[in-house]
Structures are given as structure tokens and as C-alpha cells.
Structure 1
Amino acid sequence: MPRIRKPVVPGWFDQDAADFRLLGTRCRDCGSVFFPREDTFCRNPGCAGGELDEVPLSRRGTVWSYTDGRYRPPAPYVSDPDVEWRPYTLVAVELAAERMVVLGQAAPGVGVADLAVGAEVELVPGVLDEDAEHIWTTWWWRPVAGASGREAAA
């Protein structure tokens, strides 16, 4: 029986879109964009708006910050406590058009040595976990080909 692909957090991205993007919302009154998405009210404290539209966020951004995770994080991150822990890389990416920073894991094989503040990265689909019934999908950030972090910092 084929496994079902399911987003680890429903509504945050369209895993089946040809143009994979994170999904946010924009307030019709003030234009503020939110991620994670907000579907009930404008989170801008200076706006009383309540009409929000779904918007795809930029696929590319620049590294705002990054670090390696050397601890076993809490849910919704899935990890087997009986398996040796492996560090992973977290990337905070500035999306200029949306005027926000989005946190996410770096793609497999991308470590802190591959990143630099200001380097361009792109959003790619990823798999967080798999079990007998599901493939749990997520998003990753990876350096744009030809623009390695260390070169961009120079």
C-alpha cells in the first residue's frame, strides 16, 4: 500500500505545488504579511483588520542568522530516542518582499560551514520523517547554486 504524503504542519505550504512555496496570509487593510499564517485577525497591533488573504511567500531570501542544533528538539520534530542524535543546521532567512524572517532547517548536507550571513538561499521541499503509512513533508533552505556562503561573505 502506498504511503500518504502529509505536511508536518497543514496549511503552511502546498507540498504538491509545482512552484513550492511557504504560504502566509496578508491583511487586506494594512498589507502586513504573516508566517506562520493567521486566518482570524490581523496580528499587527496598529490594525483592527480581520480580512486576510492567503499569499505564497518568496522562494528565495538571504541568510539572516544560522546555527547548528546539538540537542534533541521537542515536537513536532520527530526523532527516535533510541537512535544516536545527529546535529542539524537551522537557518533564519530574511524575505525582503515580505519584510520578515522565517526559520527552517537547512537541506541535508548543508552545515554551518556552508552558510554566511547575507548569502542567498532558496526554499526546497523536504521530508521530516517517514513511517509505514506516511511521508511527513516539510521545507528546507539550501544555498543557491554558485553562491556559497563563504564566497558571498567575502
Structure 2
Amino acid sequence: MKDHKPVVPGWFTTDDEDFRLLGTRCTACGTVFFPRQDTFCKNPACAGTEFEELKLSGRGTVWSYTNAGYRPPAPYVSDPDVEWVPFTIVAVQLAEEGMIVLGQAEPGITVDDLTVGAEVEIVPGVLYETEDQVFTTWKFKPTGASA
């Protein structure tokens, strides 16, 4: 059995039952960050340096989307010996935080399956695999769609 490893440790939970992106909130002003911020608050009106980790919304609405019909250049990880399979990129406005987060749609979800304003959920996914490891990430899936 292959070992599962997050592509970016600390950016999302590893619990499939309550899978979420992980952000941080400045304890001084309440600004929420994703990816996480741990050194200083990027809010220009705040000098905060302390943050608490929080699970971000598990749902949001499609803000924009497009397809990746070509193999992206490095640093995107892609095996040049494997046939390229296009995928859909989705920009989602998180329900509670209001921030926009980018990610891939679940395999099989195309631009024809999405509309601006449609509700999606954040689900665990696989970015790529090697002989020994599965590198995990997050994906977006329209609510009500089967996996």
C-alpha cells in the first residue's frame, strides 16, 4: 500500500470525514488567511503577529473557472512520459470567509458542468502519485455530484 502525503503539509486536514482547508486568523484584527500566515498580519491596518489556526468553510460558490488543456510548466509536477489529461481549474468564494481559493475540480468535472454562482464543496483529492507515495491535495466538487 502506498503512503499518503499532503502536497503542502498544514494547508488542509487529513481527515476524510471532515476534510477542510486550514487557514489562520490574526488574533488582533480577525483577518483570515489562506494559505496560512504565521509571522505577521498582512492587513495594512494591523501590526498583529499572533495567529490561531482554523478550519475554513467546507463549501463555497464558483467565482470563475477554466480548463487546463495543456501541460503546465514547472514547478507543476507532471510526468512527461504519461499522456496529458486536461483538468478544470476553479476559483471558489468560500461561504463564511468570502475569500477566493483556487484549486482543481474533481476528475471528470469539466467546464460544462460548472456555472458562476454554483455551490461546490471541498473534497480530498490526489495531485499525483509515485511508485511509493500518493500526494494528496484538495479538489472542488459541485454539491450533489457523485464522486
Sort the TM-score into its range (normalised by shorter chain): over 0.9
Task: Give the drift of 1:99.
Answer: 2.0
Matches within 5 A, 1:49-128: 49-75=48-74, 77-128=76-127
CA distance in 2, matches of 1:107, 1:17: 15
Unaligned 5+ segments in structure 1 are 147-154
CA distance in 2, matches of 1:75, 1:8: 15
Unaligned 5+ segments in structure 2 are none
CA distance in 2, matches of 1:61, 1:54: 20
Task: Give the drift of 1:84.
Answer: 2.4
CA distance in 1, matches of 2:22, 2:73: 23
Moved more, 40-49 or 108-117: 40-49
CA distance in 1, matches of 2:125, 2:75: 15
Query: Are the counterparts in 2 of residues 8 and 76 from structure 1 also a CA contact under 8 Å?
Result: no
Give runs of ≥4 in structure 1 deviating > 4 Å.
none
Q: What is the aligned length? A: 145
TM value normalised by structure 1 = 0.89
Query: Are the counterparts in 2 of residues 63 and 118 from structure 1 also a CA contact under 8 Å?
Result: yes
CA distance in 2, matches of 1:127, 1:112: 20
For residues 33-66 of structure 1, what are the alpha-carbon distances to aligned partners after superposition, in whole Å with 9 as ceiling and x for unaligned? 0001111111111111011000100000000000
Matches within 5 A, 1:26-45: 26-45=25-44
For residues 118-142 of structure 1, what are the alpha-carbon distances to aligned partners after superposition, in whole Å with 9 as ceiling and x for unaligned? 0000011001111122110011000
Kindly indicate whether residue 1 of structure 2 is the aligned counterpart of residue 10 of structure 1: no
TM value normalised by structure 2 = 0.93
Query: Are the counterparts in 1 of residues 92 and 101 from structure 2 also a CA contact under 8 Å?
Result: yes
Report the RMSD for the aligned CA atoms in angstroms.
Answer: 1.4
Aligned to 1:145: 144
Counterpart AA for 2:18: D
For residues 4-33 of structure 1, what are the alpha-carbon distances to aligned partners after superposition, in whole Å with 9 as ceiling and x for unaligned? 110001110012352000000000111100
CA distance in 2, matches of 1:17, 1:112: 26
